[in-house]
Amino acid sequence: MLSSGIGVLFQGNNFLRLLQGLMVSLRIALLSMLLSAVFGLFLGIAMNSKKGWVRAVCRTYLETVRVMPQLVLLFLVYFGAAKHLGMNFSGELSAVIVFTFWGAAEMGDLVRSAFLSIPAHQYEAGCALGMTKMQVFFYIMIPQAVRRLLPPTINLLTRMIKTTSLVVLIGVVEVVKVGKQIIDASRFTEPSAAFWVYGAIFLLYFAVCYPFSRAAALLERKLRDGN
């Protein structure tokens, strides 16, 4: 009974369908991450602004996003926006909007601390050499900040990938949903399918996230040893 359940995974093109489902999750995660990185960079620079009110606005935004579970944000956009803005977002678009909204805040905080961690004399030395503010920013601050940013950004990406599993709850057909379909289709022929399919999804997520986590850990160690 049990051993036959595993066969469901490889029946027909079931496994291929699971992988296609995973691609949907990954597409949402990567797209959101890309947008988050762009917005987050600007946000992070704004967070270090000299103007108090700019910092306050950014801070409020960050704290608001952090305090809300991502699922609640998804519900707000998916159900709320449809009613108020009269716009009917698809589940996938809602997901990208929410994850970008959330990711940009998290990314902004990472960028902020990365810039803060660059010693002030780097900036001052640049200015003393007669570089303009722009030159100091692009040739001195950004290269160093990016190096420091890489490990936490990769970690954020894995969090993003893990969080995309929530989109099944607003009706996006991704890997978990495909898994459910496969289980339902074989409910009477292979009752143990649920065990194997969910087990496979569990391992698929692991297979996607683990390399990123390892890479982030290695980069982090390299960075620490380098300094």
Partner 1 sequence: MDIEFIRESIPLYAEAAVLTLRLALLGILGSGAIGFICCLLRTFRVPVLKQAAEVYIELSRNTPLLVQLFFLYFGLPRIGVVLSSEVCAVVGLSFLGGSYMAEAFRSGMEAVPVSQGEAGLSLGMSRHQVFFYILLPQAAATSIPVFGANIIFLIKETSVFSAVALADLVFVAKDFIGMTYRTDEALLLLVIFYLILILPVSAVCALIERRVRYAQFGNRSIVSGE
Q: Site residues (CB under 8 A) for partner 1?
A: 2, 5, 66-72, 75-76, 79-80, 83-84, 158, 162-166, 168-169, 176, 179, 183, 191-199, 201-202, 205-206, 209-210, 213
Q: In this structure, which amino acid lies at residue 211? A: P
Question: Is the CB of 37 or the CB of 183 nearer to partner 1?
Answer: 183
Decide if 29 contacts 212 (C-beta within 8 A).
no
Q: How far is the CB of 224 from partner 1 (least distance, A)?
A: 11
What's the burial of 183, exposed, middle or buried (CB within 10 Å: 0-12/13-18/19+)?
buried
* Strand residue runs (E) in the chain: none
User: Could you count the other beta carbons within 10 Å of the beta carbon of residue 227?
Assistant: 7
Reported as half-sphere exposure (CB side, CA atoms, 13 A), residue 208 has a value of 22
Closer residue to partner 1 (CB): 100 or 164:
164
Measured from the CB atom, is 79 or 138 closer to partner 1? 79
Is the Cβ of residue 12 or residue 80 nearer to partner 1 in the bound state? 80
Instruction: Please state the closest distance from residue 206 (CB atom) to partner 1, in A.
Output: 5
